[in-house]
Each structure stands twice: as C-alpha cells, then as structure tokens.
Amino acid sequence: MPTTVAIVVAAGRGERARGPGDIPKQYLSLAGASVLEHALRPLVQASQIHSIRVVIHPEDRDLYEACVGPFTAHLGPPIAGGETRQASVCAGLEAVAEQHPDRVLIHDAARPFLAVELIERLLGTLDRTPGAIAAQPVTDTLKRANPEGTIIETLDRANIWRAQTPQAFHFPGILAAHRRAKAEGHDGFTDDAALAEWAGLEVSLVPSRSTNMKLTTPEDLTIAERLLAPLSPFTETRTGSGFDVHAFAPGDHVWLCGVKVAHTHRLEGHSDADVGLHALTDAILGAIGDGDIGEHFPPSDPTWRGAASRVFLEDAARRVATLGGRITNVDVTLLCEAPKIGPHRAAMRESIAGMLGLETPRVGVKATTTEGLGFVGRGEGIAAMAVATVVLPL
C-alpha cells in the first residue's frame, strides 16, 4: 500500500469569520469539539492515512495544544505556517519531505464536515491521476456584475465546479510544483489544484457534497452549529447495545478496555479477548445496524488470532464516519469479581477516548461484581455490557 500523509492547514487568521475578541475559527468550539478536531477526526479514522501533520500559526501553539485533545497521539509535531495558504502548504510539504511519502492529502482545518468515504474516493482516484480534488458542480446560475452590483452578463455554468479540500496528490509532483512556484515568486494560489494546474499536473475532480463546506463567514459558523446540533432536523440519534463474555484461562494479565491489567488469569479468546472493547464494538455496530464483531472479524479467520481489539473498535468507528455520522458518547460496564477496575478506570477511559477520537467526558467505564452469584461470581470469567450513541445525518 502506498504511504500517505495528511497535511491540515490551520495557520490562517480567520479574519472574515472573526468577531471582536474571537480566536481563529479553526479553534472555535462546534458541538463540543473544536473545528480543528472535527476536521482531524475523519483523517484519523481513514485507514489509508499513515501520518497527519497540522500546520499552525506560531502564535497559536497554546490554542492548538488545547484543541487537538484526543488526537494528540495521532499527530506529529505541528509545523509553522506562512503568510499565505500556499506558503503554509509548502511548509507542510517540506516538513514531511524527508519521509518520502508516496501521496499527500491536503485539507483545510476550516472544513469540519469531511467524510471518510470522500478520502477513500480521492485516494482511489490517485491510482489513475497525479492529482484529485474534492469538488462540486455549480448548480446556481452565475452572473458577472459591475462594481455597483448590476448584472453585466450571465455565465455558462456548464462544467464549472467549486473546488473544496481535501486535495490529494502524488507527493513528489506536488512538492516539485510548490518549490517551483515559490522559487519563481508566485505566492497567491488559493488552492493546490490551481498551483498544480500552473505546473502542468493533471488534476481530476471527485464529486463531493455541499456539506463539506469551508467555514468562512460568521453565517457559515451558524450553519455549521445547526448541522451539528443534537436536535438538528438534519440528524437523527441512534443507540446500540453490546454484550460479551470471556472465560478465564491460566495466565498473568487481562486486557480490558485497551489497558493491560495484571491478574491471576488471562481471558481466553481468539484475539486479545478484551471483553470491554468487544462489547463496545458491538454497541457501535448495533447503533448503525451494521452486523456484529463476529460477522466483520470471523473467529475462524487466522488474521485475527491474538489481534489487539482496538482494530475492531476502530473499524466500527470508521463505519460510523463512513456514514457521515459521529459517536457522541459510549458507556461500558465490566462485570467481574477481580481484578479491581477502579485503579485502571481513568486509563481505560483515556484509551477508549483515544481510539474513538472522543473527549474523555464522553466515555464512561464502570464496574460491578455480581455479589458472588453466577459465573462471574464464581470467578470463571468476565462479562461486559456497553451502549453507544451515534448521531447520523438524515
């Protein structure tokens, strides 16, 4: 598989969206997460992307640290941007050049509604062309006006597209084009496709949705809030539940919610037998009506022998993202007499939050004994229950 890096440009000042005293738009909070986090989530979830770097304004370091939250572990160090978007992208490309990636996906931090499915189509198109960008055919009738706002002419909108991001390229080609543009003093290309076009690189258009909007004006911020509001007429909320049991076997540790816990036994299972993550994976799959863990990862398939269960959970999260949805909260209950969960609860919540790209307050982990009753009470194994809430676009 070719190596792909994602570069997210977030070094702009957001002047057009900014009210007095506002911070730059990419750091504003939208439905409980920063615009930047929304932009990063699908990139974290897309399995074809190997590393992600964010280009920021040097003055924004503290805002950045405070805003990337659960994604910190997925990101390389931030890169200092430049005066223009073009300069910021160029700085990002130079910073990753020594890794010699095959492909790059360049995305605006100001576009918080990116769908994983679009990333997949863009990268798929790169098999055939050196460049592929998200874009939308223009549907409005286009007018050219004089400075006073009176129509001079009506333009033919046939074959006219609105360019969005992500914009995906074969890395060596776009790096060379950016270097040449910089060397020749061109600094005003507002997107990378324009720069590629200038450099003679062929770029394909990949149809995208208008929801993949760029937040530019205060009105855009209001629209984005409405799109994400839990009771928005454009979304519905769904809940799923999951349950799982694993028996104890001789061993010295168990995996629970992604955390290795020393114990007098291990849990028996085909994968790492992380009963908490299995119940949670099923809860998420249940919320989107997409089968269960056994269907997607059959125990009969040797690929999953000893697998870390985060693979299953991340796959379920990706399925939600592919639908354009997002997980809003999850809650896991572990049923066991031992080991004690309390000392590990914070680590378990952090671990799940990291895998799902959620803020920790949206993740619950609880435990209970069964008062000595039943198989759990007899210490024969551990059971787990989970629920997940998912918001999906209608």
Binding residues for ligand CTP, rule: CB under 6 A, are 9-17, 24, 26, 55, 81-85, 88, 108-110, 214, 216
Residue (60 or 314) nearer to ligand CTP, CB: 60
> Please, what is the end-to-end C-alpha distance for the chain in angstroms?
34
28 touches which of ligand CTP, Mg ion, none (CB within 5 to 8 A by kind)?
none
Residue (60 or 282) nearer to Mg ion, CB: 60
Closest separation between CB of residue 108 and ligand CTP, Å? 4
Binding site for Mg ion (CB under 5 A): 12
216 touches which of ligand CTP, Mg ion, none (CB within 5 to 8 A by kind)?
ligand CTP
Closest separation between CB of residue 88 and ligand CTP, Å? 3
For 80, list phi and psi in degrees, rounded to 5.
-75, 130
**CB-closest chain residue to ligand CTP:** 12
Give the side-chain half-sphere CA count within 13 A for 254.
Answer: 30
What gap in Å lies between CA 230 and CA 212, rounded to an integer?
Answer: 19
Specify whether the CB–CB gap between 196 and 177 falls below 8 A. yes
Closest separation between CB of residue 17 and ligand CTP, Å? 6
Closest CA to 144 of 132, 157, 131: 157
Q: In angstroms, what is the C-alpha Rg of the chain?
A: 24
**CB-closest chain residue to Mg ion:** 12
Closest separation between CB of residue 354 and ligand CTP, Å? 24
Residue (164 or 271) nearer to ligand CTP, CB: 164
88 touches which of Mg ion, ligand CTP, none (CB within 5 to 8 A by kind)?
ligand CTP
What gap in Å lies between CA 208 and CA 217, rounded to an integer?
Answer: 21
Tokens of 10: 């977030």
Residue (55 or 355) nearer to ligand CTP, CB: 55
For 389, list phi and psi in degrees, rounded to 5.
-115, 135
Give bridge partners of residue 105 from the DSSP assignment.
Answer: 6, 168
According to DSSP H, which parts of 216-341 are helical?
218-228, 275-287, 293-296, 310-322
Closest separation between CB of residue 134 and ligand CTP, Å? 14
Closest separation between CB of residue 39 and ligand CTP, Å? 8
13 touches which of ligand CTP, Mg ion, none (CB within 5 to 8 A by kind)?
ligand CTP
Which SS3 state, helix, strand or coil, does residue 55 take? strand
What gap in Å lies between CA 218 and CA 223, rounded to an integer?
Answer: 9
Residue (12 or 242) nearer to Mg ion, CB: 12
